[in-house]
Chain A
């Protein structure tokens, strides 16, 4: 395997995730390499979104959700008792399936994250941070004259890039993307994919996608998940170079899914 252990940005070790008594994900172990794009694919209900959300403890918000095993980030288990999920989410940002800008101005959408995280800079520094974040999300040129406009008044694709810019503003290491393009048209989708390549040198990106072409063209590594038919728990079937997964998978089930025979 060409994934290099010492370059892991985050690593799951023997992770089980429960919703109440139901085990949604079982025995997932894999490491995500730094400054790469990793795609999680698989049919509906296979637990890929659940795994993604466990990386920044967003599952904690669901009543009854529980995670066993370890998620290592900088050598620390994120599920240790002394870890506050609030702290985790600052370093591991998230972009959601549906664009969800706040009903505030574009400027305030970006400024929200820094402000709640104890921003101490001046107004001029904030202006600069807003510009840097919007440039980072390739949105600056489109909205620089309308920063006072509501975040809801721009197109869906622009809204999603605004959400990415908002995530960038708190300077995370890792950006989790949960099907970020499923509500977007093909052109907006392409822009987000280009943006992901631009972000790659500075951030580690993990993306859940239903779209296999997207995984094939926009990711470095791919993890394939599938639901165990007996206990309905999702498990990791195969994890490798994207090229290998799509051209020469080792597992038969991966091959079947990739070639569209089920899913």
Chain B
């Protein structure tokens, strides 16, 4: 539609488009907007496609098919029926007929066969005689869409093998400790290590970070010592300079590569403070870890996320309206009362969100933990802050570096677990923030 701009001779200076030129000009400006809009749509789509590819890649590896071959097939053993259709006497008969006498004697010594439950006996038969073995594994896409070819190939190489669906991500995988056999391996030690590290890092970084942010935002200009005394004046000046230095460099610190923090942690927490971080000065500590313990890792991680925690806390504190502070001061509150009763409660949603996001970045970190010597293979659960430990990203890194295909499958399953933990944390951050905000306003 054409709108008459209604030009008057006295208003027309010739520099602005007039008449039909207005329409053309508007159309061209709108076109330019459309081009930008399209470009941004494309970048969004690229992002989504990459995300889908990532998801597909992980799921493709974490689920799929396995070809299982048994040394002796169950049907051959029993002459037809499945194991769970048999009673105790028949199961014992099978064991006695197929095992060597020495093996049988050992089993009897542990617990007489006749005293064992049927379930126990069936497991014995599977483990000692049937011995199912995974001879090959296939990713999900092949298993679903290329099954005929797989079967043909299997029939040639392993005529007795059976093709089954396998979810590498299963309960057993989550609760089993680490193992050198990918079929037995689980991520229990890694999950526990990650949770320990997460909790401790939070415990260290939160109070330090929030404390520093409060000081920088609320107290930086203060002169804590008596200005009339020359020593007091020098100390005041030093404190102010130090605070200024920290403040200007905090953004730089948050950009330092994480491996640098790892090297720092190795030098300070693992080596210099070994007596403390290995727990050897506290009675009963596990001293075999040489300082390569959860507490060293948590201190290093706390250093790593401290700048981010400080920056986000500072921003949250700055966002508290000055009018609220004034209201509090106006009633005769001291500075600390104002900070504690007014500033902190109002900044808390922002501080918590920032801290949880920083933590969720930290749980994905691998490099600094490798540097400070986190274990790559460990089967015992971490018991206290002086235990040796491993975490999910290190476990994943370790597994993807191995040649066997099955390790890649369980690495993908571990990635899913890590992502679930991350998403849970972030969801918790958002829920908490919304809850606290709602509580403030209602």
Residues of chain A having any CB pair with chain B under 8 Å: 56, 58, 61, 63, 86-87, 89-90, 93-94, 96, 98, 100-103, 112-113, 116-117, 150, 152-153, 163, 166-167, 170
Contact = CB atoms under 8 A, between A and B. Distances in A.
B342 interface: yes
B331 A116 contact: yes
B442 interface: yes
Contact of B333 (A93, A116, A152): A116
A245 B92 CA distance: 115
B333 A58 contact: no
A61 B441 CA distance: 27
B330 A167 contact: yes
B346 interface: yes
B323 interface: yes
Contact of A61 (B329, B337, B442): B329
A88 B202 CA distance: 41
B341 interface: yes
Interface string B314-330: 00000001011111111
B221 interface: yes
Contacts of B346: 103
A65 B309 CA distance: 32
B121 to A, nearest CB: 67
Contacts of B334: 86, 116
A93 B337 CA distance: 17
Contacts of B440: 103, 150
A182 B342 CA distance: 25
Contacts, number: 68
Contacts of A163: 327
A63 B221 CA distance: 7
12 contacts: A58-B329, A61-B325, A90-B332, A94-B330, A100-B324, A100-B326, A102-B327, A112-B341, A116-B337, A117-B331, A153-B442, A167-B331
B388 to A, nearest CB: 47
A86 B326 CA distance: 12
B327 to A, nearest CB: 5
A117 B326 contact: no
Given A103-B346, A103-B440, A152-B441, A112 B331 contact: yes
B331 A96 contact: no
B22 to A, nearest CB: 41
Interface in B208-259: 221
Contacts of A113: 331-332
B323 A86 contact: no
B331 A89 contact: yes
B341 A100 contact: no
Interface string B325-356: 11111111110010001100010000000000
B323 A100 contact: yes
B324 A102 contact: yes
Interface of B is mostly: helix
Closest 3 CB pairs of A and B: A90-B332, A94-B330, A100-B323
A240 B341 CA distance: 42
Interface of A is mostly: mixed
B331 A170 contact: yes
A93 B331 contact: yes
Among B221, B321, B442, the most chain A Cβ lie within 10 Å of the Cβ of B442
Contacts of A63: 221
A153 B439 CA distance: 12
Nearest to A166: B331
A89 B441 contact: no
A111 to B, nearest CB: 11
B350 to A, nearest CB: 14
Nearest to A81: B228
Given A86-B332, A100-B321, 18 more contacts: A61-B326, A89-B329, A89-B331, A96-B326, A100-B323, A103-B324, A103-B440, A113-B331, A113-B332, A116-B328, A116-B332, A116-B334, A116-B337, A117-B332, A150-B441, A150-B442, A167-B330, A170-B332
A164 B58 CA distance: 62
A152 B437 CA distance: 13
B426 to A, nearest CB: 25
B401 to A, nearest CB: 52
Nearest to A98: B323
Contacts of A167: 330-331
A87 B328 CA distance: 13
Among A90, A94, A116, A153, the most chain B Cβ lie within 10 Å of the Cβ of A116
B327 A89 contact: no
A203 B329 CA distance: 20
Contacts of B331: 89-90, 93, 112-113, 116-117, 166-167, 170
Contacts of B324: 100, 102-103
Contacts of A170: 331-332
Contacts of B333: 86, 116
B221 A102 contact: no
A86 B324 CA distance: 16
Contacts of B323: 96, 98, 100
A170 B341 CA distance: 17
Given A152-B441, A163-B327, A87 B332 contact: yes
B17 to A, nearest CB: 41
Contacts of B329: 58, 61, 89
B330 A89 contact: yes
Among B324, B327, B328, B333, the most chain A Cβ lie within 10 Å of the Cβ of B327
Contacts of A153: 441-442
A56 B330 CA distance: 8
Given A58-B330, A86-B332, A87-B332, A116 B441 contact: no
A263 B195 CA distance: 66
Contacts of B221: 63
A94 B328 CA distance: 10
